[in-house]
Structure 1
Amino acid sequence: MDIDAENSRHRIVMGEIEALRVKRQQKLADRPHPSLKRFTQQELNDEAFPSYKNLLVGRTRRIPARQTIINIAEYLECTSDERNDLLLAAGYLPIRTELEGRSLERALEWAQQTMRSIPFPAMIVAHTQDIQGLNEPFRHLFDIPLDRSYDGLLNRIDFHFNSGLPIRPRSTFDKASTEQWEEHAINWIHAFKREHMLSRYDAWYQKLLDKVQKYNVDEVLNVPDAEPKMDHTQTILARMESSGELVPIRYRQVSISAGSRLYPQIVVFLPVDAAARTVFENLGCPADCSFV
């Protein structure tokens, strides 16, 4: 790279970093940072890049390594778009965490086609945890109303926590089922946070956490992350078609994704015990469910 090009790249990168740093600092005028960050040049130097001051005053014009740029973006609490703009300014490839545009449309089309061939209850979940589709066995298993007023609740968070939908009350009918429900919620939320670590400052991610907090489940959010338990079995009261009686059944979930991206994914629900297999058979699932 020639001197002029190097100087130009240096100015662009420093301009991007400083613009983000000042933007974060200005927000502190309204509300102090929870971790008492000050977003000063010295703090950035100390916390993210020990040579930042040298870069700032021009002692060096060498563009930091890609991982260093990512570390600076983390310190600055960048959204996915801001981090990618910073990477591009430094001459590095962006990080594409989620599908978008036509690629997302094709993935959703694949998911819809695939779900139609699955003879078990299933739903399609986007990275925002919005439910992009569900089949009739799913709707019948969990008694999801056809009322259009519930369309705004088509999100995995609502499905799990909203007591106005049948899933939560039918999954917490005694002490054991309640503990299992809480454990599943804790494991899921921690797994979600790990999966989307690079997106945690994005608007959609913050909106999802706000949705969780709306349900007053701080005891779930505040449990320290730990190694998840391997038993993914869940229990719910399901309706026996022959008698109309609600009986406890045990089921598990498996997820299917297209390509290398985790989302969109198809979440399939499979029976675990004899009572569940009977209920699933009544939903039109294969009579011999023992192979699952």
Structure 2
Amino acid sequence: MMELQPSLPTTVHPDCVEFVRVVEELLLLRLHEAGQSRESVPFATREDSWGPRKWHRTELEDMVYSSYKRMRQGHITRPPRRAVVMEIADYFQCSLPERNRLLLAAHTFPVELYLTGPDLERVLGVAIETAQALPMPAMIINRDWRIHYFNTSLLHLYDLSPEQIAQLPASSVNLLQLLFDPTLPLYPNLMTNRESWEQMASQTIYGFKAANLLSIYEPWYQEVLNRLLLLPEFASHWQQIFPRKSVEEASISPTGITLETSVPRLGDPSRSLSLRPLLISTGYFHYTFPQIIGFLPISLEDQAIFEEIGLPYLTPTSGGQVVP
């Protein structure tokens, strides 16, 4: 954030001073940014359901927080509740650091920042050990949908070598890129069944949007999105998915999602394999990223294909107890 020193009225209650200071800084910053040329503003900041802003206090009060004027006058003695602060952050199109400044100034807990650097590498190490032990094809993705690891079974399924994966540009090793980029090696196999591909594409976009509702003004998000928007069909699918709505309203059923794919090792394009995606978190009641996506054969026929090409799979066992 730019170094801004807004003048604050002396009437603000001491418990609200820091919150008002951050709000005033954001108003000044957004007003300054609005003076820049439209071409210099990232895609995601131009596309906004709130519509255009004028970035002044009256607009903030009318659109989000009607008590802000009374807070500046000293009639409000505590910052707003967390849900209101989150709405104010949405109005300001806050990055995560800016959002957390608002939250901390309001004396509430911040949003957890995403893992990067050594912290990410440490958790990835645990996830990779888990994916290596799984008796199924699996990959590991991070919050930006970048794929960090393919286990041996997944490489075997698509007859790919580690060297082939290593030769791919880092920016292309992304789950959404694999689904939409016709130049990548998995794309022809995933397009075997158009209906299956449509389901996977829609659910994957939904997952990306839902996981990153607070990141749409982060530079990495804008970079990934702008790259994906260049791919065939991506823009039309992207515009149809609304993460704030229920999955049913988006015509997506996560429990019914299957992946139908051709298998290069079979040498017969007419034969395909149906897989059920399985999402695995390596944390204990901490459903964050990175995450493992495993793929299970759905039917006995699919299990037979696994056996034919030499892939392991989970074998169901009888018994157990359903708890009413």
Settle same-fold status: TM greater than 0.5.
yes
Equivalence for 1:19: 25
Equivalence for 1:157: 176
Equivalence for 1:252: 276
Equivalence for 1:223: 240
Pairing partner for 2:258 from 233, 236, 241: 233
Query: 1:37-75 CA deviation, whole Å, 9 max, x = no partner?
Result: 222211110111111112234443432222222221111
Deviates more, 1:57-66 or 1:158-167: 57-66
* Residues 48 and 72, structure 1, Cα contact 8 Å, conserved in 2: yes
CA displacement at 1:128 relative to structure 2: 1.3
Q: Aligned pair count?
A: 282
Deviates more, 1:56-65 or 1:148-157: 56-65
Pairing partner for 1:168 from 187, 209, 214: 187
The change in CA–CA distance for 1:210 and 1:253 in structure 2 (over 3 A counts) is: same
Equivalence for 2:5: none
Query: 1:175-207 CA deviation, whole Å, 9 max, x = no partner?
Result: xx1122122211221232123212222222222
Equivalence for 2:290: 264
CA displacement at 1:116 relative to structure 2: 1.5
Map 1:136-155 → 2, pairs under 5 A: 136-144=152-160, 146-147=163-164, 148-152=166-170, 153-155=172-174
Q: Distance in 2 between matches of 1:82 and 1:203?
A: 13
Q: Distance in 2 between matches of 1:49 and 1:234?
A: 45
* Residues 158 and 265, structure 2, Cα contact 8 Å, conserved in 1: no
SS in structure 1 of the partner of residue 276 of structure 2: strand
Q: Does 1:277 align with 2:295?
A: no
Q: Distance in 2 between matches of 1:288 and 1:134?
A: 18
The alignment's C-alpha RMSD in Å is 2.6
Q: Distance in 2 between matches of 1:262 and 1:284?
A: 32
Query: 1:182-239 CA deviation, whole Å, 9 max, x = no partner?
Result: 2221122123212321222222222222232121322211225451224211211113
Structure 1 segments unaligned to the other structure (5+ residues): none
Structure 2 segments unaligned to the other structure (5+ residues): 1-9, 318-324
SS in structure 1 of the partner of residue 143 of structure 2: coil
Q: Percent identical across equivalent pairs?
A: 29
Equivalence for 2:60: 44
Q: Distance in 2 between matches of 1:185 and 1:38?
A: 37
CA displacement at 1:102 relative to structure 2: 5.2
CA displacement at 1:256 relative to structure 2: 0.6
Normalized against structure 2, the TM-score is what? Answer: 0.78
Q: Distance in 2 between matches of 1:105 and 1:172?
A: 33
Equivalence for 2:207: 191
* Residues 159 and 265, structure 2, Cα contact 8 Å, conserved in 1: no
What amino acid maps onto 2:181 in structure 1?
Answer: N
What amino acid maps onto 1:23 in structure 2?
Answer: L
SS in structure 2 of the partner of residue 211 of structure 1: helix
Normalized against structure 1, the TM-score is what? Answer: 0.86
What amino acid maps onto 1:286 in structure 2?
Answer: P
